[in-house]
Structure formats: C-alpha cells, structure tokens
Amino acid sequence: MRKFLLGLVLLDQVIKYATWSLGWVTINKGIAFGLFPSETSLTVILVVLVFTSLLMKLKLAKNSYKINQAAMLMVAGGLSNMLDRVFYGGVIDYLHLPFVPSFNLADLAITSGFLLVIFNLFT
C-alpha cells in the first residue's frame, strides 16, 4: 500500500513538472474548483487535519480492506496537492477539458477514492 501511495504521488509530481516546463499548467490557489483562493494557509491546515484523521481511521479500520484502498487514493492525492501548495503556493492543474474546471491526477485520485468509500459504505 505504501508503495502505491508513494508511486501515485511521484507520478503526479513528475507529470506536473513535465507540464510545468511546457507551460501547460494553471495554478489553482483555492480548495476545490478554485473556492477560497486567498486562504492558502487555512487550506494547508485543513488538508493536514483531514488527512491526519484519515490516516488514523486507516490504522483503526484494518479489517476494511476496500475502504483502506479507497482512502489511500485520497491520501495520495491530498499529499501530492499539498506538496504543490507548500512549494508553489497553489495546486498545479494540467488537465483542461471544456466542461469542467482544470484538474490533475491527484484530483482524480481524491475524487475516485471518495466515491469508492461512499460506495463501499452503502453496499
């Protein structure tokens, strides 16, 4: 699991670096979809609190393998986006589609993990 987490973070960071050098990125200073862009330090604090609590829950819920995997996606995505906030002052987004706000691999991991947790809680 740890290798997967680190691999996802590393892959997202490598893609961000490559697209940054090509000039294909936007910097999202908000939380989700650009909300609260002027609250960068508050965002970092909230992300640390949320992901610390998720990691603690993972330690307690060792028997729930599917939820642990989904939560690991959220942790990896959050960690990668947090690195961006610390080093660049905002999240680097490199996927630009016409009908949705810009996003990145970490955002996909967070969203997928969240949806998987919800699905597993209700099935």
Domain ranges of the chain: 2-121
What pLDDT does 35 receive? 59
Q: Is 91 helix (H, G, I), strand (E, B) or coil?
A: strand
Q: Which of the listed ranges 32-46, 54-68, 108-122 does the model predict with the highest average pLDDT?
A: 108-122
What is the pTM (predicted TM-score) of this model? 0.76
Q: Could you tell me if 63 and 53 are in contact, meaning their C-beta atoms sit under 8 angstroms apart?
A: no
Flag whether pLDDT at 2 surpasses 80: no
Q: Could you tell me if 78 and 38 are in contact, meaning their C-beta atoms sit under 8 angstroms apart?
A: no
Q: Which residues are catalytic?
A: 93, 107
For 45-95, what is the HEC assignment?
HHHHHHHHHHHHHHHHCCCCHHHHHHHHHHHHHHHHHHHHHHHHCCEEECE
What pLDDT does 114 receive? 82
| % helix, strand, coil for the chain, step of 5 | 65, 5, 25
Flag whether pLDDT at 20 surpasses 70: yes
Question: Binning pLDDT at 50, 70 and 90, where does residue 58 land?
Answer: low
